[in-house]
Structure 1
Amino acid sequence: MTTGPRAWLLGLALMLNACAVVPPALPSKDSASLRYNIAYTRQPQPALDVEIVLLPSSPSDFLFRQPERVDTVWAWREDGSSDALRLRDGAVHVPPGTRFLRYHYPLAPSRGGGWSFFFGMGDQDSWHVAGKAYLLRPRTVTPRLRVDLTVSGTSALLPWRADDGGVYHLRGEDLVDSGFHGFGGRRCEARVGASVLEVALLGSFTHLSDADLCAWLQQAAREVGTIRKAFPHPRITVRVVPVPGEDSPALFGMVQWSSPPSISILVGQDATAASFAGDWVALHEMLHLAHPTLLPRVAWLTEGLATYYTEVARARSGRQTAEQAWKELTSGFARGRSAARSRTMAEVVAREGEWQGIYWTGAFFALHLDVELRRVTHGRARLEDVLELLATRGPTSSLGSFGAAVDTVAGQPLFDALLARHLTTPAFSELDALLDNLGVRIDPGGVKLHAAPGSRLREAMDGERSPDDGG
């Protein structure tokens, strides 16, 4: 694992991954308020032609969450007349009598077209785009809003499942958190226990077969089982996008909190199956499914949990040794400490652009919290038990609720005092003492593990659960 690709991932994810999660609504028998007909077209260049069919009760104000490639929306009336509606800050107001809204969304990257991972990138006749980039949605989404959506012109992998007639029946909230979408490409499935990963392979690879790519994702999903008792969702979708001229197994990944969640990963087009042995990106993204989404967002904790458990899970599965895991963790802590300088943790995490400090102060706090939970319960409880408890309480949580769950698992107040110690003192000020207690020594040649007062806790953390074979 190299510092460069990991650094790129951490920075981009922190800058871009800021979607809110809406708790699932109860199914409704209400008829759809809106219908989206999405047509994939190839000429003169790949694009999505979107038609929104309105009813008298439909909303009249719409917006793009990320206006980028559309500047005009056409409003059509029943008599065939139309008006060109120019976007104002990504928004349009629908004139009375409008029956259809139509617009053209180009998929091919254009000059100054922004970060293509969201707005459209592809290979040959396969394309990847975030739903929030191309879907015009109502400015106000009410709980009763229902949406029917169809796709024509190519096969699509959206976060949701269509009915037998190819219609997706969505809640209004699905337009708000619409996840990643894939058009064209090939499909494979990876199964872990009772869960399924539906995968879109959006382009060609020099050395990788479809089976290689699906096996890699299945391995990552199985490693989540070293942290959680079962894979956190019965179904998710994953899009794999090749990056020409690159041979890294995974360059960047992100989870979007659609319902169910959707993941997309950029993979070097010239990567080999052997290179996946050292990959951590797919696992890191899937580990975000192991914790609830915190609202308001607490990036240092959610990214810290995923970063910490990325190394723990790879050690527990046998993909790396305990020494390698601690080398990765201590190297990351060193980078975080360098970025933090002498500032307190509170000062570090308050500056969102300083992702090295944010991710690794969070990972260090997760490690310390895991150690303290095991210590005060004499090994009967661990940080994973907090995640299991929170999973019974719904897909979202808050920092306060997370702390209360920690205290419940610990059987005593723990979280607030430990967090206050970290926030008010220089970041990583307790690192050296903690590593010494765990028997982790950093030598010029690497990391040495040795007997120490807390070495039994460290050994339990490294290898206490074997991954579920799935099947």
Structure 2
Amino acid sequence: MKTVPQAVLLLLALTLGACATTRPALPRRDTAALRYNVTYAREPQRGLEVEIILLSSSPRDFLFRQPERVDTVWALSEDGSSRALRLHGGELHVPSGTRFLRYFYPLESPSRGGERSFFSGVGEGDAWHVAGRAYLLRPRVVPPDLRVEFTVDGTDALLPWPPDDAGVYHLRGEDLVDSGFHGFGGRRCEANVGDAVLEVALLGRFMFLSDAEVCDWLAQAAREVNTVRKTFPHPRITVRVVPVPGAEEPALFGMVQWSSPPSISILVGQDTTADALRRDWIAIHEMLHLTHPTLLPRVAWLTEGLATYYTEIARARSGRQTARQAWQELTDGFARGQSAAGSRTMAEVVSREGDWQGVYWTGALFALRLDLELRRVTHGRARLEDVLELLATRGPTSSLAGFGAAVDTVAGEPLFERLLAHQLSVPAFSDLGSLLDRLGVRIDPGGVKLQAAPDSRLREAVDGGRPSDDAG
């Protein structure tokens, strides 16, 4: 953790104290209980100066979810007097009479790189990526009716939420809890998919890619989502693309956070090319998470399994890869999952989330089985995508039981619990070979070959197989 030098804190305190009498206060009739003013600062170091304006109805207890880079918050009263408040385990109690809370969040840190920096701050120059949960001090308890106003000055920002014409973000309290990814500075482009728009922040320089090529890559991934869902799941989402110096790989790491609307961020090799992006799978994988509801409590094997399964199927349906290539990717993944799982049952594998190869590919195999069974029992009238469409009408969140109920509704008979109970009780990949044989997926030393078999028509219905894919 990098703390701000005492001299910087003193300068900040003096500056904030001087500003206390010059910044206009919110009118008392304002319906927002909190107002956040975020200013991007370049000197003495790059960071975010955050001011929270409190009203009489504002909460008095606050916390940082990731108390790593801020250790002091300044409380200022109406008369401009200030008081330094130290954080205790990331928590803060606001003294009575406090009108403003102010602090500085440094974006630059000596410990740069790695997944942690993906949340706490990564970038170069005046283009920075940070998770909202890393730098935002929020109420410890968020009332359901809490209303918040939020502004950003000093740079162009890409936040999950759309601002109004005056540049003000009107948020609910839950937006502070699930605050998504934020981008500051950089360049912008847009990708359109039907009536949906992807607002993209390019947070750094690429050696061999134009901004248009990056946006085209994301638009392609979004179009592939529409091979799974009838329309893109959200009218607007935001995507931040962060170049990683010295890397030639396309996407290195990506994540979707369930802000409202969801926000996606992806690390991309700075030296990658447009040809390499065409082979990427991470962008479509992250966008496919938008096709299913948030499952509470979290069920990683199912949500990651769905996205992993459809990553290959959607790329085949769009024509970005052949059906044969899709099944090659799936069988390679199943082999990795089987190696990780060993002789353990599915229940044993999915109980250990840190075993990602086992969890992802066990879940992907279950998604394939579920898709095939739905098609089988309905004689081709229904498929797994119909479950996702039904769940979309029931709200943004669900549960494992709710997912199962949607499966049974689409199937027209009890299906989910029976299939899941069986798979949980047997070695995770025990009957993979017989399943592939029935689908006509043969694994030879030279690679996968697709051939006629009892269930090859089901396989072709799944992948949208083309005649040119059938040849060995």
Q: Same fold (TM over 0.5)?
A: yes
Residue 233 of structure 2 is aligned to residue 236 of structure 1:
no
Map Cα deviations across residues 177-214 of structure 1 (whole Å, 9 max, x no partner): 00000000111000000000000011111010010000
> Rg bigger for which structure?
2
Letter in 2 for 1:278: R
Identify the range of structure 1 (306-315 vs 456-465) with the bigger mean alpha-carbon deviation: 456-465
Aligned to 1:22: none
Letter matched to residue 241 of structure 1: V
- 1:209 is the counterpart of 2:220: no
Structure 1 position 110, deviation (Å): 2.6
Query: What do the CA deviations read for 1:345-401 (whole angstroms, capped 9, x no partner)?
Result: 111111111111000000000000001001111111100000011111111110001
- Cα 1:464/1:439, change in 2 over 3 Å: closer
Contact preservation (8 Å) 1:131, 1:179: yes
Aligned to 1:85: 85
Counterpart for residue 49 of structure 1: 49
| Equivalent residue, structure 2, for 1:329 | 330
2:186 paired residue number: 185
Deviation (angstroms), 1:111 = 3.1
Q: Tell me the equivalent position of 2:414.
A: 413
Trace 1:115-194 onto structure 2 (pairs within 5 A).
115-194=116-195
Runs of 4+ in 1 over 2 A off after TM superposition: 109-114
Q: Report how far residue 166 of structure 1 moved.
A: 1.0
Q: Match for residue 24 of structure 1? A: none
Deviation string 1:135-174 (CA, Å, 9 cap, x unpaired) is 0000000111000000000010001111111111100000
CA separation in 2, counterparts of 1:154 and 1:333?
46
Please give the root-mean-square deviation of Cα atoms over the aligned residues, in Å. Answer: 1.3
Cα deviation 1:40-60 (Å, max 9, x = unaligned): 001122100000000111111
Structure-1 separation of matches of 2:343 and 2:90: 42
Residue number in structure 2 paired with 1:390: 391
Instruction: Give the secondary structure class of the aligned counterpart of 1:154.
Output: coil
- 2:442 aligns with 441
Length, aligned pairs only: 437
**What residue number does 1:195 align with?**
196
Q: Tell me the secondary structure at the aligned position of residue 316 of structure 1.
A: helix
Are residue 308 (structure 1) and residue 304 (structure 2) matched? Answer: no
Aligned AA for 1:417? R
Are the counterparts in 1 of residues 316 and 465 from structure 2 also a CA contact under 8 Å?
A: no
Write out aligned runs for 1:104-119 (5 A).
Answer: 104-111=104-111, 115-119=116-120
Which runs of 5 or more structure 1 residues have no equivalent in the other structure? 1-28, 466-471
For 1:22-37, list aligned pairs within 5 A. 31-37=31-37
The one-letter code sitting in structure 2 at the alignment partner of 1:433 is S
Q: State how far apart, in whole Å, the 1-side matches of 2:337 and 2:147 are.
A: 45
SS in 1 for 2:251: coil
TM-score by length of 1: 0.91
Partners in 1 of 2:246 and 2:450 — Cα distance? 39
| Deviation (angstroms), 1:84 | 1.3
Instruction: Report SS of the residue matched to 1:334.
Output: helix
**How far, CA to CA, are the matches of 1:405 and 1:464 in structure 2?**
27
1:257-272 pair list within 5 angstroms: 257-272=258-273
* Letter in structure 2 aligned against 1:132: R
Question: 5+ residue gaps in structure 2?
Answer: 1-28, 467-472
- Indicate conservation of the 8 Å contact 1:30/1:146, yes or no: no
Partner Cα separation in structure 2 for residue 30 and residue 223 of structure 1: 44
**Secondary structure at the counterpart of residue 266 of structure 2:** strand
Matching of residues 318-357 of structure 1 within 5 Å: 318-357=319-358
Q: For 1:299 and 1:352, how far apart are their aligned partners in 2?
A: 7
C-alpha displacement of 1:430: 2.0
> Does the CA-based 8 Å contact 2:375-2:382 persist in structure 1?
yes
Distance 1:112 1:452 in 2: 53
RCO higher in 1 or 2 (8 Å CA, sep ≥ 6)? 1
Which residue type is aligned with residue 220 of structure 2? Q
Q: Is the 8 A contact 1:255 1:288 kept in 2?
A: yes
